[in-house]
Amino acid sequence: MKHQSIKICVATLIVVVMLSLMCCTNGTSTSNNLNPLILIPGNGGNQLEAKLTTQYKPSSLICEPWYPLFKKKNGWFRLWFDSSVLLAPFTQCFASRMTLYYDQELDDYFNAPGVLTRVPQFGSTYSLRYLNPRLKLVTDYMASLVDSLEQLGYIDGKNLFGAPYDFRYGLAAPGHSSQVGSKFLNDLKNLIEKASNSNGGKPVILVSHSLGGLFVLELLNRNPSSWRKKFIKHFIALSTPWGGTIDEMFTFASGNTLGVPLVNPLLVRNEQRSSESNLWLLPNPKMFDIKKTLVATPYRNYSAHDMVDFLKDIGYSEGVYPYETRILPLIKKIEAPNVPITCFVGKGVKTMEELFYRNDDFDERPEIFYGDGDGTVNMVSLLALESLWKDEKNQYLKVIKIADVSHNSILKDKVAVDEIIGEVSRINSHDDQLGLSKISLAMPIYDGK
């Protein structure tokens, strides 16, 4: 009887140990089986803070350094997104503080004098969950996607990271200075290496949205293949405007409120024109047909090949030189990085296809004709990599189209987020670099919802 009791105790102990191991495997240790993942937001997709120095010259009395009233102890305050931008007098303050200036002699872009800017908590997902944590319902950006990744087992700061940046700045072709954009690429590279090294040397999954995808592609192509092979597991690009957007021509011509109510678009137009990244997002003449009219007036039609004349005619001739010298050479060739890439794109959403101005006054809102896309980016731009890389034998490319999902809702729509999480899970289930040596063009997963 005594020996029987011992056997029962031993058996019970074994069961308890096995159950404990199973709990650990299905619980906290799940995160140990995941490749580290870094989120890279799009244009306007993270918080931005500012601080004013004695060199700051207010554009009006109401824009004196006392505004805004509530600042951190060291003088920093929320620049993007702050709800006071909705009120016209403060809209002007916001616009003047967000404006960049191109110095042709130094060949680079700079903040307005007396305005310092910074991105809070680089490396964390904090500043890209909500553009303003006090207005979560209306400024939710990547919160839904982050929550779903955490349910998968990802933990912020451990194997989940965010790479926010000053989205007003872009990049330039080789031979041109781009201090802010280049620093971001270097910071992102260091974050990738840190994420990999702190997770047992596992390569990293990069998940970008919109403009962030252009930065990631530049980072990959500016580093040697040995580095890419060691540190990059997969690149997931969401709603990336590979060839720019017609929406940007609308922004440059007439100003764009980006859906923010009550804002006069003409109050933010000059600030939007000054953005280096916006210049980068103008339609790429390599993607858009030379015969395709994008903007029309009674006196002149403009295609993607007429951008210099377009910039002059809308009254922004100062943008011509940086566009010709910095942007055109940058977008001339989009090279395949030989890193596995999955593109998620929305389709079936009304997207600006052609703008018609009834006279030469670009202050007036145009008549808009629509085509297919995600509501912001045209299909020819979203699907550009398919045609550009069709002959690339060493580039794996998978394209997933989701119907009726817009440019930003791809980050929170349940069908889209579930599909993105499914792709992340699939990538994590592969121990190698997919071992694929040719382009794989996936058929549309969703033609309707």
Give pLDDT tens digits for 398-415.
999 999 999 999 999 999
Nearest to 417 by CA among 141, 170, 194: 141
**Could you say which DSSP state residue 30 is in?**
G
Give residue 47's identity as a one-letter amino acid code.
Q
Q: Sheet containing 301-302: give its strands across.
A: 301-302, 295-296, 351-356, 367-371
The dihedral built from the CA positions of residue 186, 188, 191 and 192, taken in this order, carries a sign that is negative
Which pLDDT score is estimated for 210? 98
Query: Residue 397: which residues within 8 A CB-CB, separation 6 or more?
Result: 341, 342, 343, 385, 386, 389, 439, 440, 441
Regions of the chain short of the pLDDT cut 70: 1-31, 431-449
Which pLDDT score is estimated for 87? 84
Which pLDDT score is estimated for 360? 81
Active-site positions? 210, 374, 407
Nearest to 221 by CA among 328, 326, 338: 338
The CATH label, of 1.10.10.10, 3.20.20.370, 3.40.50.920, 3.40.50.1820, for the domain at 36-246+336-346+376-428 is 3.40.50.1820
Q: Which residue has the tokens 């858009």?
A: 288
Which pLDDT score is estimated for 258? 76
Query: Residue 385: which residues within 8 A CB-CB, separation 6 or more?
Result: 242, 334, 341, 343, 397, 399
pTM reported for the whole predicted model: 0.90
Which pLDDT score is estimated for 441? 44
Query: Is the separation of the CB atoms in 336 and 394 below 8 Å?
Result: yes
Which strand (E) or helix (H) includes residue 37? Answer: strand 37-40
Which pLDDT score is estimated for 30? 57
For the chain, what is the largest distance between any 2 Cα atoms, rounded to a whole number of angstroms?
104
Which pLDDT score is estimated for 263? 83
Which pLDDT score is estimated for 261? 74
